[in-house]
Amino acid sequence: MTGWARRRWLLIAPPFLWLLVFFLLPLGIVAAISLTQPADTIPPYTPLITRGAGGIEIDAGTASYRLLAQGDGRAYANSLGFAALATGLCLLVGYPIAFAIARAPKTWRNPLLFLVILPFWTSLLIRVYAWIAILQPTGVINRALEALGLIQAPLLLIYNGFSVVLGLVYAYLPFMILPLYGSLSQLDESLLEAAADLGARPAQVFWRVVLPLSLPGMAAGALLVFIPAIGEFVIPDLLGGAGTPMIGKVLWQEFFDNVDWPAASAVAMALVALLTAPLLLAQRLVERPREGET
Amino acid sequence: MSRRLTLFRAAALALGFGFLYLPIALLVAYSFNASRLVAVWGGWSLHWYGELVRDDKFGAAAWNSLRIAAMAATLALLLGTCAGFAIERFTRFRGRAVFGFMLMAPLVVPEVILGLSLLLLFVASQAWLGWPAGRGLMTVTIAHATFGCCFVAVLVRAQLAGFDRALEEAALDLGARPFGVLWRVTLPGISPALVSGWLLAFTLSLDDLVVASFVSGPSATTLPMAVYSSVRIGVTPEVNALATVFLGVVILLIAGAFSLIARQERRRLSS
C-alpha cells in the first residue's frame, strides 16, 4: 500500500505481539504443564525444568495423558455427538429463517438481522438460565401440560442429552443464520427466474439452484456452530446432568474441583487436537475470497 | 415466487423469532412475579427488585464488571483497529498467515482453553518474572482485551473492505502523510465499525463467565461469576430481576448506538 513502506510495522506489531504473548504462548504453556504431575504445592504441579546437581533437568511424563486414555470416553463422544447434532439442527432451523430474511422487503432486512444478532449481545449465562425455568420438573412446560391434563407425572426434559442439544441450538442459532443470510442475500434473482422459465418446479429450483449456491454459507455456519459447541461449558453444566459430560465441563472439573492442573491441561490439549482440523478448514474458508488479490 | 412460499416465510420468521425470544420474555415476566416459585403466577410485584437493591453481593460484582469491561473494550479497540487495518491493507508481510490465524482462532477456541491457558501464563510469569503480582481486575482485563480485539478486527476489516480507497489516495496526492490519512480520513470513515467494535468488546467482557473464573482472583468477583454461583443453587426470582436489569441496559445501549450509526449514515448519504 502506498506511503506505508516500513512504518507499517507500527500498526502490525502491537496486536501481533499482544496475541503472540497472550494467545499463542499460553497454548504452549498448556502443552508444557500437561507433561508435569500434580503436586501439593503452589502452583499445584511438579516443575518441568529444575536446576539440579548435574545441570538443568527436565522432568516430563505422559501420566496425565495415560489417565486421560483410561478415563471416561463418554465426554469426547458426547462433545462430538452433541455438537454435530446441534449443528445439523441449527442448519434445519436456521435455513428457513435466513431464507425468509433474505427474501423479505429491503426495509425489513436490517431490523430482522438486528433481531437475530441481539441475543448474541446479551449474556449466554442468562439465556441458558432462562431455559431451566422452562424445562425443569416444576417448570413452565410441565405445569402447562399438567394443567391441561395431558400428563400425570412431570416429563424429564432437563439434565439430559435433549436439554443440552436444545441449549446448544438456542445459543448458536445466530451463528448459523448470519453466514447463511450472507450467501442467500447475494443470490442472483435472475438465476431463479431462469430456472423457473426453463420449467423447474419450486422444489427443483431450491434443490438444484438455491441450495448449491448457498453451500459456502452453510459451511461457514456449520463451522461457527460446531467448533465452539464442542468445548462449551455453561450449557452442559447448567442444562446437562451426570450422564451427559462434555469436554469443556471435564476440563473445568479437573481444574476447579480436583485441582489437577496437569490433567486439565491434558484435556485442553485433547480438545485442541479435536479442533485443529475444523479450525484450519475455517481459516481457509475465511481467507479464500482474497486469494485472487495476493 | 408463489403465495404459499410467502406464508411459509412468515411462519419461518414467527417460529424462529419465537424460539429466540420466548425464553427471554418468560424470564423477564417472572421477574415481576410475586410468588417465589417459578412457573406459579402470584400476581405482579416489584418485590424481587427490592431484594436485589438490598443485596450488596451483586452491586460490588457489577462495579467490578463495568470497570473491567470499559478498560478491556478500550484496549481491544486500539489493538483490534490496528490489527484489522493491517490484515486488510497489507497483503504481504512476513508472518501474515500466523497473524491471520491468531486473529481468527480466539473467536472460536473454547473459552475453557482461553481461560486455562491465560491462567497458566499468569502463574508462570509470576513465578519467573514477578509479574503480575496477583490476579484480579488487571488479569481479567488483559484476558478480555485478548479475545475482544479479534472481534473488533473482524468488524474493522469488514468495513474497510467496503471503504472507498480513492478518498485515501486523494489525501495522499494532496500531500498528507500516511498516519495523517489514517487519522483524518480512514478512521472517521469506518467510525460505525469502531463504535460497534467497542460495544461488542464491552458486552462480551460483561457477559464472560468462563475466562474470568479462571484468571480472576479472590478480590475480583465479576457479575457473571456472582450470578453463576447463585444459579447453581437454584432458580430464584432475584436472579430473574437482575437478568432483566442487565438485559434492559445492554439492549438500550445497543439500540441507542445502532440508531446513532444509522442516523449518521443517512446524514452522510443525503449530504
Query: What would the pLDDT profile of B129-188 be if each residue is shown by its tens digit?
Result: 888 888 889 999 999 999 999 999 999 998 998 888 888 889 888 988 888 888 888 898
pLDDT in tens, B191-224: 889 998 999 999 999 999 999 999 998 888 999 9
How far lies A169's CA from each of A94, A177, A183, A264, B16, in Å? 10, 11, 21, 27, 12
By C-alpha distance, the chain A residue nearest B104 is: A283
pTM of the model: 0.88
By C-alpha distance, the chain A residue nearest B102 is: A19
**Surface of A (192-221) touching B: CB under 8 A:** 192, 202
Query: Sign of torsion, CA B105 B109 B113 B114?
Result: positive
Give the SS3 label for residue A246: coil
pLDDT at position A112 over 70: yes
Average pLDDT, chain B: 88
Query: Cell 473482524 belongs to which residue?
Result: B154
Judged by CB atoms closer than 8 Å, whether chains meet at A43 and B177 is answered as: no
Which of B116, B149, B235 is the best substitution to test chain A (most A C-beta atoms within 10 A)? B116
pLDDT at position B271 over 90: no
Average pLDDT over residues B233-258: 85
Chain B residues within an 8 Å CB radius of A272: 113
Distance (Å) from the alpha carbon of A59 to chain B's nearest alpha carbon: 16
Question: Which pLDDT value is given to residue B155?
Answer: 92
- CB nearest B227 (choices: A125, A131, A248): A125
- CB nearest A121 (choices: B85, B121, B254): B254
Which of A90, A121, A284 is the best substitution to test chain B (most B C-beta atoms within 10 A)? A121
Distance (Å) from the alpha carbon of B121 to chain A's nearest alpha carbon: 5
Average pLDDT over residues A242-267: 91
Query: pLDDT-based confidence at B54, cuts 50/70/90?
Result: confident
Judged by CB atoms closer than 8 Å, whether chains meet at B112 and A268 is answered as: yes
pLDDT at position B1 over 50: no
CA distance A272 to A27: 9
pLDDT at position A240 over 60: yes
Which of A115, A125, A275 is the best substitution to test chain B (most B C-beta atoms within 10 A)? A125
Nearest CA to A232 out of A289, A281, A168 is that of A168
Average pLDDT over residues A154-174: 92
Lowest mean pLDDT among A8-22, A28-42, A66-80, B177-191: A66-80
CA distance A163 to B143: 30
Chain A residues within an 8 Å CB radius of B27: 126, 129-130, 133
Average pLDDT, chain A: 86
CB crowding A202-232: b at 16 or more within 10 Å, else e: eeebbeebbeebbebbbebbbbbbbbbbbbb
Give the SS3 label for residue A105: coil
Query: pLDDT-based confidence at A294, cuts 50/70/90?
Result: very low
Average pLDDT over residues A74-86: 92
For A257, the grid coordinates are: 474441583
Judged by CB atoms closer than 8 Å, whether chains meet at B111 and A24 is answered as: no
Query: pLDDT-based confidence at A290, cuts 50/70/90?
Result: very low
Give the SS3 label for residue B240: helix
Residues 6 or more apart whose CB falls under 8 angstroms from that of B153 comprise: A15, B80, B81, B83, B84, B87, B103
